Structure formats: C-alpha cells, structure tokens
Amino acid sequence: MKSPSWPTVRDDFPILHQTVHGKPLIYLDNGATAQKPRSVIDALVHYYERDNSNVHRGLHALSMRATDAYEGSRTRIAKFINAADPAEIIFTRGTTEAINIVARSFAAILKPGDVILATEMEHHSNMVPWQQVARATGATLRYVPVLGEDAEGGLDLAALDTLLTPQVKIFAFTHISNTLATVNPVEELCRRARAVGALTVIDAAQSIGHTPVDVRAIGCDFLAFSGHKMCGPTGIGVLYGRRALLDMLGPTETGGGMVVSVTYDEAKWKPAPERFEAGTPNIADAIALGAACDYLDALGRDQIAQHDNELGRLAYEKLSTLPGIRIIGPRGGRGGLVSYAFPDVHAHDVVSFADQDGIALRGGHHCNQPLMRKLGLTSTTRASFYIYNTAEEIDVLVASMHRILKFFGAA
C-alpha cells in the first residue's frame, strides 16, 4: 500500500513529531483516542481568542458569533452523519453520556416483561446503563451471542430469530467492536429490529472516525459517538435521535437553557435538542468537533476506511507469524485494529516493552470484561490504527513483539 495514504497527513498532527524514550513516536492507541490535527486545535484557540461567550443568551456580537459557530457545528455534524434535521444532534460529553441519556429516558417507559437486547461484544458503556435500566424497571436484558472460540464468527445472526421478539423494546449494539474489530451488519440489524417494533441504539464510537456513517441509510433510531475518537476534542460527543422520538422523551437533566417557561411550581421543556442540553454547553469543543468533520471529509471517509482497514488486515497478517499468538475477532473483513494475546507474556508487560520502543499500545480488558471472560482471557494487547499510521510502523511493531517474546523466553 501507499504509505501513508495521504503524503502530507502526518504534517497536520503536531503531536506525532516527537520521540518517546529516544524513539520516534508510533501512536497505535487510536481506539482509545485519536490525535488532533492543527485545524481542530486552531478552532479551539480561535474560539477562545476571538468569540468566547455564552450561547443563546446574549444579544451582543460575541454571543451571536459563539451561537452561530455552536449551532453551525450542529448543522455540520448533522450533515456528517446525514441526519434529516440538525435538531436531531444532541451534544453530550461523549458516547457514554449519550447512551446514558437514552437509557435513563427509557427507564420511565419500560416495564416488567419488556426486553432490552444487547450483544456480547458491547463495551461496558453500552452494557452497564442497560443493566441499570433493567434493574430499575424490571425489564429483562438479553444478549446476542458472539460466535467462535476467538469470537471470529461475529454475532450469531441465526439466534436473532428467537431473540428478537415483539417483547424487545430496545436493541443496542456496536457498529465496530473496540476489541474484536468486528464490523456489524448495522443496516440488517436495524431492519430486523424494526420488523418487531424495537428501537435501535448504535454505539458508533469506533466507527464514526473510520468509516462513513449515514444514519438514514443505516436506519437506526439512536446513534452515539465521541468527538475525541474522530480527531475532535475530548469532552464532546453526540447523541443522534430521530426527531419524533426525541420529542417523546423527557429530559434527563433539568435547569437553565432547556425550558420554555418556569413558574415557582413547574417548568415546560423546550423541544430537542435544547431539552437535553441543560446548562451552559461545551461550546468550544462542539465548535472544534465541526472542524474535525471538515478535516475528515477533506481526506475522504471512504479512503479513510480503506486505509484503516488495510492497516488492520496487514497487522493481522504480520502479527499472525509470531509464535503462540492468539488474535481475537474476525479473520477477514475487520476494522482497523488488532487485539492479541500471548500464552506466556501478559499484555501489560507487552505494553511496557513496546513503550520503550516508542510504540503506544493498549493492554487490558478494553472495557469488555464479560467478553474477555467468555473467551478465557483476562487481557489482550491492542494496536489500533488511524489515518496517520503507516505500513512501516506495523513492521516496527512486529519487530518489537519479536524482541519481547525473546526477552521473556517465550520464543
């Protein structure tokens, strides 16, 4: 492959140009958070240096500029995911808060006998909130199984026939698994959920920056993602919800900015999105998230998907040659990350070693404890790729892994 896919892309990321322990930084922890291009950093600086003001409240020039930029970003993000209406974009702190908003809203609606369906590969953030709702409402939480000893078979779609009953009110699933790199057939899952009247909630944290996400083509009811995994700042994310549904749901937080009128006894809510954005929002980061959308669209999201998936494929192929390695997730058709384990060297030792070679990896359970337990693992090492990574960096990774195995006497 041409490496990198965009000859000057690395120049856009100031952070990449440093050494770690005397070695050039190789950042392969993009599943945890992506690095930020200059244009996103500039958007933050510009806002604080020129436009900083509260939104929706002031009649002065700065407040109007801030409001325009904030609402402009909402419109930009709506376009980024092809939402029908900017009002369907609710700014949150991230994926976790977005899923919690949906879950808490449904806590008022679900009742015993109702079923919440999730999958065995969900991140804790798309599992624990549903456990809490099930506990609070008496609804039952069920999981679509993951197939194969190494979860290489993806979701058990045949089991959906029996699991997707009319009792299922919510079907929550991830687009791309943060541990397995499985790319779920989200359109099909939404179609089958719709057929039984279940609403769909998609965790798009690992897909939003890596592949085109079109909420209307997917046909989902809700979709959650974080800005920081798509070159945006931390502390900002999005809950997308179909307008008709959002206006049915009550707020999860109340206060200023989300009310139409207030008396000493009661208050009336604004419609979405304001209903879900009580208090002064995270204006600067929301604006910078719009800049991140511009950046990714300029690179081309189909090209990003091709680049990341190719690195995932290449890493899978090259890591497979290491003695004793166990790679989990699908063998082909995977997203741009690889999780693996060695029988005799723990992931944390691997990560400490790789760090000395300037390589940033993640080691642990990746917020997938039940899945790890099912696979008989306590932790894996994960290398996750993004637009600025190269095939050469994968060669350095594999060489580092060889040295680690040798050091621990495992090869």
Residues taking part in catalysis: 367
Residues 287-346 touching another protein, rule: CB under 8 A, are 344-346
What does the alpha-carbon distance between residue 164 and residue 144 come to, in Å, rounded to a whole number? Answer: 9
Nearer to another protein, 112 or 343 (CB): 343
Interface with another protein (CB under 8 A), residue from 364, 374, 402, 411: 364
Kindly give the pairing relationship between strand 222-226 and strand 237-241. antiparallel
The site for another protein, by CB under 8 A, has a size of 22
Q: Rounded to whole angstroms, how far apart are CA atoms 12 and 18?
A: 14
Smaller CB separation from another protein, 319 or 351: 351
Which of 52, 54, 82, 356 is in the footprint of another protein by CB under 8 A?
Answer: 356
Single residue of 20, 32, 305, 408 touching another protein by CB under 8 A? 408
Pick from 187, 217, 320, 407 the residue near another protein by CB under 8 A.
Answer: 407
Q: Which of 46, 130, 106 is nearest to 370 (CA)?
A: 130
Smallest gap, in angstroms, from Cβ of residue 121 to another protein? 17
In the complex, minimum distance from the CB of residue 345 to another protein, in angstroms, rounded to a whole number: 8
Per-residue tokens: 77: 């993000």
Q: If we measure between CA atoms, which residue out of 144, 143, 137, 145 comes closest to residue 114? A: 137
Determine the Cα–Cα distance for residues 159 and 143; give it in Å rounded to an integer.
10
Question: Within positions 8 to 27, which residues make up the interface with another protein, using CB under 8 A?
Answer: 21-22
For the stretch 83-92, what's the b/e string if a residue is b when 16 or more beta carbons lie within 10 angstroms of its beta carbon?
Answer: beebbbbbbb
Binding mask 368-387 toward another protein (x if CB under 8 A, else -) reads -x--x-----xx--------
Q: Which is nearer to another protein, 22 or 332 (CB)?
A: 22
Output Rg (C-alpha) for the chain, integer angstroms.
22
The one-letter amino acid at 327: I
Amino acid at 36: K
Span interacting with another protein, options 44-52, 181-189, 214-222, 351-359, rule CB under 8 A: 351-359
Nearest to 342 by CA among 269, 250, 404: 404
| Binding of residue 7 to another protein (CB under 8 A) | no
Q: Which residues bind another protein (CB under 8 A)?
A: 21-22, 344-349, 352-353, 356, 363-365, 369, 372, 378-379, 403, 407-409
